[in-house]
Amino acid sequence: MSGTFKAAALGAAIAASFTCAPVMAYETGDILLRVGAAGVYPSGESEEITAIAAGAEVEVDSAWSLGLSLAYMLTDDIGVGLLAAYPFTHDVDAKGSISGLGKVGEITHLPPTLTLQYYFNNSSAFTPFVGAGLNYTFIYDEDTDGALAAADLDVDDSWGYALEAGVDYAINDKWMVSGQVYYINIETEAEVSGVGKFDIDVNPWVYLITAGYKF
């Protein structure tokens, strides 16, 4: 068999494998449920906390939890998505001029996020999508630690915008694996007794790695 013929046969086999790949075309009324691991990676810090020291700041660390993404298809291409999760617990670390203090607190939050999504339905097993919407972050169980252990911490809930992008890969006409990334605007105000109030920009990137099912 000549090299040219082998190359042609290999190319045909590859093309056939893509042609035979499962396709998951979405339709009006479909419900998409995705469950897996969710990671929240904050990208911001607090404003300068001059009541503690010049250049003093705090930063919220990353955290992982169980994540859930639910979508309802309004049309073949447009869906409404909901991001939910088991609560995330984050360390709050000292930064800037007080970085040597290490962990100074801990917060727990829930970040339900509602988005309007557009799905690029096509003839392949991959279905990419994008979305935009609104986030509400409910913050509770605020605790201080280390150098601030004797103080009380209170952090306000937050409303903000959310952007998302993702892709589903069809295993068959019902099951899929999926990856999603969100940017969520979370800007809140914290109050530490004896220190005062200061703003914290959390603004996290949220990563979701899931298995999903189409109902």
pLDDT in tens, 133-152: 999 999 999 888 888 888 88
Q: 125 or 15: which carries more pLDDT confidence?
A: 125
- Host H or E run for residue 104: strand 103-110
Q: How many domains does the chain have?
A: 1
Q: First vs last Cα of the chain: how many Å apart? A: 48
pTM score, whole prediction: 0.84
Q: What is the CA radius of gyration of the chain?
A: 23
CA angle (88, 91, 92) in 5-degree steps: 125
Tens of pLDDT, residue by residue over 167-182, are: 999 999 899 999 999 9
Tens of pLDDT, residue by residue over 75-112, are: 999 999 999 999 999 999 988 888 888 898 899 999 99
CATH number at residue 127: 2.40.160.20
Under a CB-based contact definition with an 8 Å cutoff, are residues 155 and 206 in contact? Answer: no
d(CA 34, CA 38): 11
Closest CA to 202 of 49, 59, 55, 57: 59
The token duo for 46 is: 């607090």
Q: 53 or 6: which carries more pLDDT confidence?
A: 53
Domain with 164, as residue range(s), is 3-214
